[in-house]
Amino acid sequence: MAGPKGSKYYDVFLDYSIFLRHRQDDELFLSNEQLCLLLNIDELESISAAAKKMQISYRKAWELVKRAEEELGFPLVVKSRGGSQGGKSEMTNDGKLLVNAYRQLRDEFDESVKRVVKKFFQTINQ
């Protein structure tokens, strides 16, 4: 909510995305969707469960992981088949470093954006 009930900005929200681009050609190579998927895989230890949580297909999730790995040049996720208890997907050390750094970055952005947006909406609601 960006303003008091009944104000013209009451139903307005600010949203933002974090993604990585190549320096040379400015091409997007690690999207917010891919980063969120990696966070979910890290948390749930399952590509399938992460895909379900994000309401995307397993195939799309796996393609997003593979594309990120190809762009970065190193593996992010290791899949292991499971017997009766099912398989598991774990982040590699490089994947964990990326996910943890992204989590910290996002938390810091959220704090900053919240402060700046509050000031913005206070200004326009005068």
* Helix, strand, coil tally for the chain in percent (to 5): 55, 10, 35
Domain boundaries, the chain: 28-104
Return the HEC string of 65-102.
HHHHHHHHCCCCEEEECCCCCCCEEEECHHHHHHHHHH
Please say whether the structural domain 28-104 has been given the CATH code 1.10.490.10: no
pLDDT at 122: 82
pLDDT at 20: 81
State pLDDT tens for residues 35-94: 999 999 999 999 999 999 999 999 999 999 999 999 889 999 998 876 556 678 999 999
- What does the alpha-carbon distance between residue 5 and residue 66 come to, in Å, rounded to a whole number? 46
- What does the alpha-carbon distance between residue 1 and residue 73 come to, in Å, rounded to a whole number? 41
Do residues 47 and 34 lie in contact, with contact meaning Cβ atoms separated by under 8 Å? no
State pLDDT tens for residues 57-66: 999 999 999 9
Do residues 54 and 16 lie in contact, with contact meaning Cβ atoms separated by under 8 Å? no
